[in-house]
Amino acid sequence: MSRVLITGSSDGLGLAAATLLIGQGNEVIGHARSDSRAADLRRQAPGIAGVVVGDLASAAATRSVADQVNALGRLDAVIHNAALGYRERDRAVTADGHEQLLTVNVLAPYLLTALIERPARLVYLSSGLHSGGTPSLADLDWERRPWDSFQAYSDSKLFDVALAFAIARRWPDVLSNAVTPGWVPTKMGGPGAPDDLAAGAVTQAWLAVSDEPAAAVSGAYFFHQRPGEAHPAARSPEFQDELTSALATLTGVKLPA
């Protein structure tokens, strides 16, 4: 049995992964952004071991989530699933002064990675759209560029892959990988998405707990339990270091050595 945290697990892929892992006999800690969504999660996943609560659009709430998790004891794995999609028509700024999509999709998983006691495995949800991401850190908050939600989303998913690979390189004792679930019918993907939601949750759950040799790897990008091609920039140690340095500046928190 493994102890696994899944962020953004009150619906969609996060809930599907939680249900799958609970069914396999694992201890799952869920996450919801509000008390009402936490109550929904407990109803939908009655076997869940606990739920931590906090809106990942807030740095203070994200730190609180990390504190809540650490109070529960060390985890075996964390699945960084929570994300905003590319349907954000207007640029939104959080109370901390950062663009909201960047905050939830990139700053939050970075903060949680830095602040949660180091688990044995980390899984970062990305997207096939990361291949269209721009490997530039010049205007992360979209203050100077005309807002483009599709590009902002693609960029964020590229950063997530690069973060996963950066952790794999910096923490050799941790298995850190990125996953694309496919285009699945979640709130983000829309009802017309052609891929299977249940199948989309399998790979992250497998990477979090499986003893199969194919899952016991690090620094890989997966689609349906098979390694795929990641954006070349995500493989660059220089880009990885530049990204983690930029995220440390934006959050005020450095990754532990």
Concerning whether 254 is annotated as a catalytic residue, the answer is no
Place of tokens 């790979």: 203
Q: Exactly one of 86, 110, 124, 153 is catalytic; which is it?
A: 153
Beta bridge partners of 145: none
Place of tokens 């934006």: 250
Concerning whether 157 is annotated as a catalytic residue, the answer is yes
**Closest residue by Cα to residue 225 from 204, 195, 197, 194:** 204
Q: Exactly one of 86, 110, 124, 157 is catalytic; which is it?
A: 157
Tell me the three-class secondary structure of 76-93, residue by residue: CEEEECCCCCCCCCCCCE
Beta bridge partners of 178: 124, 221
Burial of residue 188, with CB atoms counted within 10 A of its CB: 0-12 exposed, 13-18 middle, 19 or more buried: middle
Tokens coding 184 = 């699945």
Residue 5, classed as helix, strand or coil, is: strand
Residues identified as active-site = 153, 157
